[in-house]
């Protein structure tokens, strides 16, 4: 009987030790999988911060996040991501939903969106036709270990990636200004591309008031100068925080009101004659264009002159080998403008003449449009802690309740049950 009793005590001791170790090692994952309302992870890996809450509170269009894997088969890294996405759903008032689709079971999901390079384990944030891809490299901070020759994850930047994608998908109320209040079919490919990217443009006459919900205006046709009254409208719009994209084929010497408007942003002149009639440019990364590429085809580009002024920041988006500027962005206070010294490069005629470069032109303009309507969303990565065992306050409280209250009660109950059975022996 004594040996049986000792065996029972030994088993209980092992059970207690094993339970404490298991709780400490897996509290974060357990909370992610079974306690979605409680984030016990170090650094709040499964929670959203105030920047994300602000973006979610301003949503006016629903966004579906497609996860290209089976939710039930995701590994520990992705369990953390799915827990984070539950926080998005919970705090979006029904504007965010998540759907899991395994491409091995439904291959059509990879062709449903006009996105190249989609693969299993990627995410897609979609709003109608517009979609943003979020890949593994967007979700995690990686470091290379020279000793083992392998990459390993050091932290999560998933909140930054998802919040930025969701923000980009919201319509920004873009208006295309013209003298006849129509979207010119000459630039049909541009309008289609903007719509696909969630930035559909609506036509607006120069004579109309710019709506209060407008964030950006696009001006593609400068057959003549604007009037002084139209200058005042555009200037007032920009002073209130509006943005503008100009495609110029005219000389500001013959368009003084345009010249005055651009001069407010340190752009002192636009004129032709310096650059060749047809020019293929090598584009370098800038504030508005996120990567280098070769092959921006311009037809008779105008040269843009800028002047450095206090309170205005410029970024050259395109220039030739002589340093003549063909495209530039300018930012002043809370307003941005972009000026491109050509209108033909995004026309139907250019598409027919140089189809191999036309996709680059659309990418170039789309990148600039995204920059005009972007806000700085900066969410710090959440680092993983390795080496020393450190217990966050939330996890410590969770373990404390288990070890100080639950386990002692269990031991008491177990001992009481043994005493009750043995007292009559």
Residue 405 has phi, psi (to 5 degrees) of -110, -55
pLDDT at 393: 60
3-state DSSP call for residue 104?
A: coil
Domains of the chain: 2-27+388-422 (no CATH), 43-168 (3.40.30.10), 174-372 (3.40.50.880)
Of how many residues is the chain composed? Answer: 425
Dist. CA 191–CA 362, nearest whole Å: 10
Residue 338 has phi, psi (to 5 degrees) of -135, 140
Sign of torsion over alpha carbons 270, 276, 277, 278: negative
Q: Please state the pTM of the whole predicted model.
A: 0.65
Measure the CA dihedral 252/256/258/264, to 10°: 100
**Residue that the structure tokens 């206070």 belong to:** 333
pLDDT at 32: 47
Strands (E), 333-376: 335-340
CA 100 to chain centroid, in Å, comes to 20
Could you tell me if 66 and 97 are in contact, meaning their C-beta atoms sit under 8 angstroms apart? no
| Cβ count near 75 (within 10 Å) | 9
pLDDT in tens, the chain (425 residues): 555 555 555 565 656 666 655 555 555 554 444 444 555 555 566 788 899 999 999 888 899 999 998 877 666 678 888 889 999 999 999 999 999 988 888 888 888 877 778 888 899 999 877 788 899 888 988 887 777 777 777 888 999 999 988 988 876 789 999 888 889 899 999 998 888 777 789 999 988 999 988 889 999 876 789 999 999 999 999 999 999 999 988 888 899 999 999 999 999 999 887 788 888 998 998 988 988 899 999 988 999 999 999 999 999 999 998 899 999 999 998 899 999 999 899 999 999 999 999 999 999 998 999 888 877 677 877 777 654 455 556 666 667 777 777 777 777 777 667 667 666 55
């Amino acid at each position: 009987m004594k040996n049986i009793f000792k065996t029972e005590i030994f088993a209980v001791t092992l059970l207690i030790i094993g339970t404490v170790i298991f709780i400490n090692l897996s509290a974060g994952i357990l909370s992610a999988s079974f306690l979605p309302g409680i984030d016990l992870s170090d650094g709040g890996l499964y929670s959203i911060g105030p920047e994300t809450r602000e973006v979610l509170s301003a949503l006016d269009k629903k966004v579906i996040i497609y996860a290209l894997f089976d939710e039930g088969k995701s590994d520990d890294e992705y369990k953390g991501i799915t827990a984070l996405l539950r926080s998005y759903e919970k705090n979006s008032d029904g504007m965010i939903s998540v759907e899991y689709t395994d491409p091995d079971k439904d291959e059509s999901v990879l062709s449903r969106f006009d996105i190249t390079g989609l693969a299993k384990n990627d995410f897609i944030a979609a709003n109608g036709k517009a979609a943003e891809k979020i890949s593994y490299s967007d979700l995690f901070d990686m470091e290379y270990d020279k000793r083992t020759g392998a990459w390993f994850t050091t932290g999560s930047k998933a909140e930054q990636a998802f919040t930025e994608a969701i923000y980009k998908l919201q319509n920004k109320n873009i208006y295309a200004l013209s003298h006849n209040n129509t979207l010119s079919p000459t630039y049909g490919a541009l309008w289609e591309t903007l719509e696909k990217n969630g930035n559909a443009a609506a036509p607006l006459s120069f004579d109309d008031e710019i709506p209060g919900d407008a964030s950006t205006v696009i001006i593609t046709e400068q057959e003549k100068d604007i009037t002084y009254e139209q200058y005042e409208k555009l200037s007032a719009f920009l002073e209130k925080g509006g943005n503008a994209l100009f495609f110029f084929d005219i000389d500001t010497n013959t368009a003084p009101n345009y010249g005055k408007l651009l001069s407010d942003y340190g752009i002192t002149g636009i004129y032709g004659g310096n650059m060749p009639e047809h020019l293929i440019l090598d584009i370098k990364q800038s504030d508005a264009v996120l990567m280098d590429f070769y092959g921006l085809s311009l037809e008779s580009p105008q040269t843009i002159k800028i002047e450095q002024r206090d309170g205005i920041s410029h970024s050259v988006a395109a220039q030739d080998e002589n340093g003549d500027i063909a495209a530039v962005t300018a930012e002043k206070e809370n307003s941005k403008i972009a000026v491109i010294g050509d209108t033909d490069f995004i026309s139907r005629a250019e598409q027919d003449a140089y189809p191999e470069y036309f996709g680059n032109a659309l990418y170039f303009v789309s990148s600039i449009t995204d920059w005009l309507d972007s806000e700085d969303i900066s969410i710090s990565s959440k680092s993983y802690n390795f080496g020393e065992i450190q217990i966050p306050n939330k996890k410590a409280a969770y373990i404390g309740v288990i070890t100080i209250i639950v386990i002692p009660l269990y031991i008491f109950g177990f001992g009481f049950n043994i005493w009750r059975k043995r007292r009559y022996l």
